[in-house]
Amino acid sequence: MSTGTIYFTFPIAIFKDAFRDIKKCCNNALLYAAYELTTEMESGTDEEMMEAAAGELEIIFGDYEIAYEAGEELYDEHNGTPMTSISSQILFDYKNEKTEFEIACFLGFAAFRSILQTKPYCKTNKAHIHARMCGYASVKTLPKELPEIEQKYAARYHMDKVIRHLELNWYLKTFSNHTRGIYFGFDKTSLEALALVNEQAKKKTKEAQLKQAKADALAKAKTSLNGSK
């Protein structure tokens, strides 16, 4: 019997082909999460461990030995890369037919979750979000050429549309007011908290700029005085 919402944790890289086959990507997420549980088990055949892991996650695979091998392959390929966490309800829902925008929102949610991890809030930027949506760790690791459908969401209009939808429907909270980047969080923070940290960061930036301006002015004054001797 279920004890509540189950969350599956797996590498964001598993969603690299999400726009082309979201169902397969979600299946791979299930396989990875189940296989990862088997790495903590001390006894049993591969098939037995995979069946036990699947039971704990409340999922069913047609052939547990084949599922183990597939999960192991995914684990070896992606282990150590940035992780995200998605509830079972969302993953199973996205094994159904979805529109391009629905998939983009799902990827946006996964991207934000992968950046936030267990923190109540943090700061990021749209380029980093886009990289994670495409299944990459950072902008630096993005390939020089992305498929057209993935490149589309690098554009401000489409990225903003995804973020707005997540705010209205996926419990995302964001705040940015005359600062570089976006402060964001989900249920562990509030808009007021994000606004506060945003304004505190602005104050620190202004203080640093003022300190630097005074240091520059002092340096110029000393240079002027030395030049007049």
15-71 pLDDT per residue, tens: 999 999 999 999 999 999 999 999 999 999 999 999 999 999 999 999 999 999 999
Q: What pLDDT was estimated at residue 1? A: 41
Give the number of C-alpha atoms closer than 13 A to the C-alpha of residue 138, restricted to the C-beta side. Answer: 2
Does 219 score more than 90 pLDDT?
no
Count other C-beta atoms under 10 Å from residue 214's C-beta: 10
Does 10 score more than 90 pLDDT?
yes
For 37-50, the pLDDT digits (tens) are 999 999 999 999 99
Q: What is the CATH number of domain 103-195?
A: 1.10.10
User: Domain spans of the chain?
Assistant: 7-93, 103-195
User: What global pTM score does this model have?
Assistant: 0.86
What is the three-state SS of 128-148? HHHHHHCCCCCHHHCCCCCCH
Q: What pLDDT was estimated at residue 74? A: 97
Mean pLDDT of 99-120: 97
Instruction: List alpha helices for 16-99, DSSP H.
Output: 22-38, 46-57, 64-78, 88-93
DSSP 99: -
Q: Cα angle vertex 206, ends 205, 209, to 5°?
A: 85
